[in-house]
């Protein structure tokens, strides 16, 4: 019996630069499971479009001509709670990074970051991960080191050596497939390790795992 191919997942892009927007579109649609369902060039148009449709994932720039992408993030989550959101921007300063994540973004990529393939990053986001450029991870680590609380009494001892290895690579911004290749394991195995790490650290995303890893001293080992 013939079966229909799985429906592609819809990505919504909010990006004001037309060249960048079309570049993102072509790179996303080169992925077999993804398509660009809608694209907007302003914050107001993006927010209005989100009232009419629910994409599977939102990609948003922070520097928009009529406002801040953080406003789009907040409006998107108010309209569609739980929507996976990834910032893709040129802005990498600590204040913007923290504000975007506090608003609800679960991924943060710099446009000039060569370490992330956009399709794989979106896949990771949809799997519950948090694709983050290495430079952004460093901002988060520094922020939480400066503003976090003192380390607790060593719950990280429950992490296995392999889990610590996966955590260290994830903190550097590597995707599931990249970590799998580096460690000679399958992507599903890396996803399983990541799930166990999140459970043991009582976190739900890569950014939270980075915070806990920094707070508990795991990154210093």
**Together in a domain, 126 and 162:** no
- Give residue 82's region: left, alpha or beta (phi > 0; psi -120 to 50): left
Does residue 2 lie in a domain region? no
Residue 28 sits in a domain whose CATH number is: 3.40.50.2300
pTM score: 0.65
pLDDT digits (tens, 9 = 90+) for 7-25: 788 999 999 999 999 999 9
Q: Of 108, 107, 93, 204, whose CA–CA distance to 139 is shortest?
A: 93
3-class secondary structure per residue, 138-193: HHHHHHHHHHCCCCCCCHHHHCCHHHHHHHHHHHCCCCHHHHHHHHCCCHHHHHHH
- CA 164 to mean position of chain CA atoms: 20
Q: Are residues 103 and 160 in the same domain?
A: no
Q: Is 39 helix (H, G, I), strand (E, B) or coil?
A: strand
Name the range with the highest mean pLDDT among 4-18, 33-47, 113-127. Answer: 33-47
User: Which of the pair, 120 or 142, is modelled with greater confidence?
Assistant: 120
How far apart are alpha carbons 119 and 70 in whole angstroms?
22
Same domain (yes/no): 157, 57: no
Residue 65: which domain range? 9-136
Q: Do 76 and 96 lie in a common domain?
A: yes
Residue 74: both structure tokens together: 């907040």
- 31 falls within a domain: yes
């Amino acid at each position: 019996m013939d079966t229909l191919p799985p429906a592609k997942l819809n990505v919504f892009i909010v990006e004001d630069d037309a060249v960048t927007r079309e570049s993102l579109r072509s790179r996303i649609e080169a992925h077999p499971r993804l398509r660009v369902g809608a694209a907007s060039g302003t914050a107001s148009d993006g927010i209005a479009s989100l009232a009419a449709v629910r994409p599977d994932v939102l990609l948003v720039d922070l520097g928009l001509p009529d406002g801040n992408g953080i406003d789009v993030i907040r409006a998107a989550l108010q309209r569609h709670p739980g929507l996976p959101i990834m910032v893709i921007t040129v802005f990498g300063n600590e204040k913007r990074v923290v504000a975007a994540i506090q608003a609800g973004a679960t991924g943060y990529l710099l446009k000039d970051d060569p370490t992330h393939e956009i399709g794989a990053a979106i896949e990771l986001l949809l799997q519950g991960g948090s694709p983050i450029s290495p430079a952004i991870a460093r901002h988060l680590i520094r922020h939480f080191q400066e503003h976090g609380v003192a380390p607790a009494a060593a719950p990280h001892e429950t992490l296995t050596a392999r889990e610590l290895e996966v955590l260290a690579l994830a903190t550097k911004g590597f995707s599931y497939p990249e970590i799998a290749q580096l460690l000679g394991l399958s992507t599903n195995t890396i996803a399983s390790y990541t799930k166990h790490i999140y459970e043991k650290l009582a976190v739900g995303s890569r950014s939270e795992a980075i915070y806990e890893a920094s707070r508990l001293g795991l990154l210093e080992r």
